[in-house]
Amino acid sequence: MGDVQVLDGREAQVGKFTVRRVLPTRPLRTVGAWCFADHMGPAEVTATSGLDVGPHPHTGLQTVTWLMSGEALHKDSLGSEQLIRPGQLNLMTAGHGVVHSEEATGSYAGTLHGVQLWVAQPDDVRDGAPDFAHHASLPVVDTGAALATILAGTFLGETSPARFVTDLVGLDIVVRTGRATLPLRPDFEHAVVALEGEVLVDDVVARPGQIASLPPGRDHVVVGALETSRVLLLGGVPFPEPLFMWWNFVARSAEEVSRFYADWRDHGERFGEVRSSLGRIPSPVPPWEPVRVRPHPNL
Ligand code: MN
């Protein structure tokens, strides 16, 4: 159809991992309410050294954690301690403020491969209470050419138990050799993220580290694979609110981020505590913040 645009993500450091950050990327900032996508691994972890992302804060978003292989341990300021395995979903809602860490499990050693995604919360709920949900199993649909696990939303009559405020879809799709035709909602915009193997999105090549953007108005996409491949399909109604994203905060303005930054720096009550052997991650200073002049120690 000629409207597929393949964009390069970039590498970023998250804990011990170098990840491929495919969202946001220029010029694609959001896909529906999906506003962030990190593709982690595959990389080797030990029982005592995994993602090793120490306690850090979030606001105004939901994190979706999904593993293709391996195990990880989630801890948060709500007191959650949750092991996650392939086929399962961790959904953390930050709202007003939450803190979490992603750690080694104490038992699993081997390959870790997964994604962490953020969903922007709309204005009417983004200052609400934090929450954490673990979904031990998700619906799976076998179309013959593809095996789709429904992380979010509805696909071919099956619906994920994970709750989101905005209308969106998130699918993990194993594409068997050949071409899989996937139905799309024309009122959604979509993106395909290559997770394993080189794929064709319609007739455009996409590789791991890239994201293929599809505008609204389409009722299907054809994903082709020369060998068994795996993609993430994200979609949703275009998010109507302009976001201001900085570090781990999804906000609407620099002033708002400055408050979140100060609350984290000063151990304010917005953010709780996580019991973790990993160090608390300090926020960088927002570039628009005035330089803080410390009083001379003799004064
Ligand atoms: Mn996080």
CA distance linking residue 166 with residue 291, whole number of Å: 38
Residue type, 180: A
Residue 174: closest CA among 223, 115, 118, 236: 223
Residue 277 lies in a domain: no
Helix H or strand E encompassing 42: strand 34-45
177 CA from centroid of ligand 1 (Å): 35
Q: Which two tokens stand for residue 8?
A: 């390069």
92 CA from centroid of ligand 1 (Å): 9
Residue 198, pLDDT > 90, answer yes
101 CA from centroid of ligand 1 (Å): 7
Q: Is-contact 150 180, C-beta < 8 A?
A: no
State the total domains in the chain: 1
CA distance linking residue 53 with residue 9, whole number of Å: 21
Residue 122: helix, strand or coil by DSSP?
coil
19 CA from centroid of ligand 1 (Å): 13
63-95 per-position pLDDT tens digit: 999 999 999 999 999 999 999 999 999 999 999
Residue 227's domain comprises: 5-236
Residue 72 lies in a domain: yes
Q: Is-contact 97 127, C-beta < 8 A?
A: no
Residue 263 lies in a domain: no
Average pLDDT score over residue span 88-110: 97
Average pLDDT score over residue span 18-24: 96
249 CA from centroid of ligand 1 (Å): 10
Residue 82 lies in a domain: yes
195 CA from centroid of ligand 1 (Å): 20
Residue 124, Cβ density class (10 Å: 0-12 exposed, 13-18 middle, ≥19 buried):
exposed
88 CA from centroid of ligand 1 (Å): 18
134 CA from centroid of ligand 1 (Å): 16
71 CA from centroid of ligand 1 (Å): 16
262 CA from centroid of ligand 1 (Å): 18
C-alpha distances out from residue 250 to 18, 32, 49, 246, Å: 22, 15, 29, 7
Residue 92 lies in a domain: yes
Q: Is-contact 200 218, C-beta < 8 A?
A: no
Domain of 231, CATH number, reads 2.60.120.10
| pLDDT value of position 290 | 81
What percent of the chain has a predicted confidence (pLDDT) above 90? 92
Residue 244 lies in a domain: no
Residue 280, Cβ density class (10 Å: 0-12 exposed, 13-18 middle, ≥19 buried):
middle
Which of the four pLDDT bands, split at 50, 70 and 90, describes residue 17?
confident
46 CA from centroid of ligand 1 (Å): 21
Cβ neighbors of 199 (< 8 A, separation 6 or more) are 175, 192, 205, 206, 207, 223, 224, 225, 229, 231
Residue 1, pLDDT > 70, answer no
235 CA from centroid of ligand 1 (Å): 21
3-state DSSP of 260-296: HHHHHHCCCCCCCCCCCCCCCCCCCCCCCCCCCCCCC
222-244 per-position pLDDT tens digit: 999 989 999 999 999 999 999 99
> How high is the mean pLDDT of the chain?
95
181 CA from centroid of ligand 1 (Å): 34
176 CA from centroid of ligand 1 (Å): 32
Which of the four pLDDT bands, split at 50, 70 and 90, describes residue 298?
low
Residue 26 lies in a domain: yes
57 CA from centroid of ligand 1 (Å): 7
Helix H or strand E encompassing 192: strand 189-196
DSSP one-letter code for 242 = P
122-174 per-position pLDDT tens digit: 999 999 999 999 999 999 999 999 999 999 999 999 999 999 999 999 999 99
| pLDDT value of position 252 | 97
194 CA from centroid of ligand 1 (Å): 22
Residue 266 lies in a domain: no
Residue 299, pLDDT > 60, answer no
Residue 96: closest CA among 64, 59, 55: 59
Based on its alpha-carbon atoms, the radius of gyration of the chain, rounded to whole angstroms, reads 19
Residue 291, pLDDT > 80, answer no
58 CA from centroid of ligand 1 (Å): 7
166 CA from centroid of ligand 1 (Å): 21
Which of the four pLDDT bands, split at 50, 70 and 90, describes residue 177?
confident
Q: Is-contact 227 197, C-beta < 8 A?
A: yes
